[in-house]
Chains A and B, each alone.
Chain A
Amino acid sequence: MTTEAMTTVSSRSAAAAVAGTSTRGRGWRRYRARTFYLFASPWILGFIFLTLAPILYALAVSFTNYDGASPLWRWVGLRNYVELFTSSPAVWQSLLRTFIYASIVVPLSVVGGLYLAVLVNRRIRARGAIRAIFFLPSVVPIVATAIMWRLMFNRDAGFINGLIVLFGGEKQAWLADPLSFYALIVMSLWGLGGGMIICLAALQDVPAELEEAAKIDGAGTLRVIWNITIPMISPVLYFLVITGIIGALQVLVQPLLLVETNKMAQSALVPQSSTLYMVHVYNEFFTNHRFGFGSAMLWVFFILILALTLIIQKMSKRFVYYNVDSDTSNER
């Protein structure tokens, strides 16, 4: 069937173009639109029932004092929000901590990813294997990543403390306050190979002539990267920054799992210094059973992310260079 269709493409395309325009009336357009909605319906229904409904449900719950079990809940109006904004310093501390976390992890992983991409874009031995190793941590399941880094940071038999002791230092409790924050950052940076792959694809799309011309004009390698390569791939760097920030703000599983004991996923066990905003939310839901307050925290978070995305989008117009045409030529 396919082969047949393909053989006839060239001979019939001219006829198709003619026939196509004449048969496409109003009925055709209605049929086409109906087909679109039929084909897209799984996602549309899924979006309504599996994304929109939970978000709106959380909004409704945020105006109650529901605890997840008791049927004796009631509407409390804006009380959760009032408490959130006036008498919850712990919430704002965790939010601030999350921003500090994001402002360390995002720049480092974008710069690190770009650096690795430039390295593995050179003609080096075993390039494919090296790229694969750098990318591998991004496909490792989160539970395995957490267990690996718990072993690295283990107090008695961890690699890091082993190294410290070897050089005559003191063993540190990396997975407790106050160091757990840094352990979390190191674990997050281990996955920067994902950014490397995206940068690499972008680097390979930079026209060679531009860089060659700059070289002929006497620019050094660093100068070519700074003045030609980075501006050319700025849309991709911008994409990495946006997704990086949003990803960093919603980090939850990593701190939940990067704790000293095996009794994982009990948010009460997460040290304070790695209690990021979402961990705090998780705490309110599953330790304190304050579903109403937790939902209010979620909604503040949604609005925050929305605002942040809009701000970054506005800012980006100034320094991101776009050179792409939208690919809609084959669409009906």
Chain B
Amino acid sequence: MSQQDTLNPIAPLEAPASVRKPRRKRSRTPQEGQKASVWVYIGVFIALALFGIPFIWILLTSVATQQQFAEGALALLDLSSPAWSNFYEAVTRIDFGAYTINTIFLSTITAVLTTLSSATVGFAFARLRAPGKNALFTVILATMLIPSIATLIPTYILFARVGLTNTYWPWVLWGIAGTPYLIFLFRQFFSAIPIELEDAAIIDGAGWFRSYIFIFLPLARPAILTSLLLSFTWTWGDYLAPALLLNLKNTTLAVATAAGYLDPRGEGIVTVQAAGAVLYLLPVVIVFLFTQKYFMGSGLGSSVKG
């Protein structure tokens, strides 16, 4: 195996093959080798329909005219004159561009900060020993179980009292603190890197800081990518925190899409909102389709057993 291969991670969230600990070769389960029967295909087909219909339905609604929508469900199936103007209205009726920029800005700072911080904390828990470490790790695991929504309401009251509402500072603070789930992910990743690598660095006279930055972080590229993707989409999709902490001027697309699109009488314009929701959702779907393995293989399956 060449040097270059060692730096080119093969699977997301696994250390490069050359530095990975020898692991039991994954054997294919018998069902996997088995040819699927007709019943399997029928089951898959029904499930596909159940999971797919909401997507199809929102697309149909987003190109329906007000007239069609008033006529009822069957009228939506008539695609002879799709109302593309719904999409134009969706981006003009609310300040879609500004909300998009807010959302991208907020998601980016959160993703970058939380990834850096979670990697550093995860490294500490994977490679360094200190009194009290195990107790702290138990606390991390416990905070994964504490309902985050339940802490958000008192957080909001506290932040309102110290004047942090209507600013992006809460996201900066949350970013710096890291996320238990991602800390866990990085800890699993760094644990799998053999100790010899560290010894070599130490003999070369590098301290923890240098071996972390120059040896471990570059190896963690797949984990870093996963972490960036996950945390970016979390903030992009988060509703409650921006709804509580921000105002209608500086809030994110999630809140704007949910609460906007009212006509002068205060009633919702459903077809335009559907178009807005499609625009809000589309980037997530596209990013997901291109980077599925990072989402689906995000180590949950292999990490929960530890």
Contacts and interface: CB of A to CB of B under 8 A. Distances in A.
B58 A151 contact: yes
26 contacts: A2-B218, A9-B19, A40-B124, A40-B136, A54-B154, A122-B40, A136-B288, A141-B280, A141-B284, A142-B237, A143-B277, A144-B237, A148-B54, A148-B58, A148-B277, A151-B58, A157-B75, A202-B305, A236-B304, A252-B149, A261-B268, A262-B269, A265-B239, A265-B243, A278-B150, A332-B128
Given A139-B285, A201-B297, A205-B26, 16 more contacts: A6-B3, A13-B196, A43-B121, A58-B153, A119-B43, A132-B296, A136-B288, A139-B295, A147-B58, A147-B274, A151-B270, A198-B304, A281-B153, A285-B153, A327-B191, A327-B192
Contacts of A7: 3
A282 B176 CA distance: 28
A17 interface: yes
Interface in B103-158: 117-118, 120-121, 123-131, 133, 136, 139-140, 143, 145-151, 153-155, 157-158
Interface string A258-299: 000111110000000000001001100100000100110010
A167 interface: no
B84 interface: no
Interface of B: 3, 6-7, 18-19, 21, 26-36, 40-41, 43-44, 47-48, 51-55, 57-58, 61, 64, 68-76, 117-118, 120-121, 123-131, 133, 136, 139-140, 143, 145-151, 153-155, 157-158, 173-174, 176-178, 183, 188, 191-204, 207-209, 212, 214-215, 218-219, 233, 236-240, 243, 254-255, 257-259, 261-262, 266-270, 273-274, 277, 280-281, 284-285, 288-289, 292, 295-297, 300-302, 304-306
B73 A250 contact: no
A15 interface: yes
B297 to A, nearest CB: 8
A152 B53 contact: yes
Contacts of A86: none
Given A40-B124, A61-B154, A309-B145, A261 B288 contact: no
Contacts of B68: 157
Contacts of B192: 327, 330
A123 B143 contact: no
Shortest 10 CB-CB contacts between residues of A and residues of B: A46-B177, A201-B301, A162-B73, A262-B268, A16-B199, A141-B237, A39-B124, A33-B130, A36-B130, A13-B196
Give chain A's interface secondary structure class.
helix
A134 interface: yes
Nearest to A42: B117
Interface residues of A, number: 135
B211 to A, nearest CB: 8
Given A42-B176, A157-B72, A330-B193, A17 B199 contact: yes
B73 A208 contact: no
Contacts of B261: 262
Contacts of A36: 124, 128-130, 133
B201 A5 contact: yes
Contacts of A265: 239, 243, 255, 258-259
Contact of B173 (A2, A50, A324): A50
Interface stretch (A88-96, A102-110, A209-217): A209-217
A184 interface: no
B200 A253 contact: no
Contacts of B18: 6
* Most chain A beta carbons < 10 A, residue from B192, B193, B201: B201
Contacts of A50: 155, 173-174, 177
Nearest to A8: B200
Given A1-B214, A197-B301, A262-B261, A154 B270 contact: yes
A20 B204 CA distance: 12
A207 B270 contact: no
B262 A263 contact: yes
A223 interface: no
Interface in A57-71: 57-58, 61, 68
A140 interface: yes
Contacts of B204: 5, 8
A157 B58 CA distance: 11
Contacts, number: 399
B154 A58 contact: yes
Interface of A: 1-3, 5-10, 12-13, 15-17, 19-20, 29, 32-33, 35-37, 39-40, 42-47, 49-51, 53-55, 57-58, 61, 68, 115-116, 118-124, 128, 130-137, 139-144, 146-149, 151-152, 154, 156-159, 161-163, 165-166, 190, 193, 197-198, 200-209, 211-212, 215, 221, 224, 235-236, 239, 242-243, 246, 249-250, 252-253, 257, 261-265, 278, 281-282, 285, 291, 294-295, 298, 301-302, 305, 309, 324, 326-332
* Most chain A beta carbons < 10 A, residue from B31, B36, B117, B204: B31
Given A42-B121, A262-B267, A301 B214 contact: no
A116 to B, nearest CB: 6
Contacts of B266: 263
A42 B116 CA distance: 10
B197 A143 contact: no
Contact of B176 (A46, A128, A215): A46
A198 B140 CA distance: 21
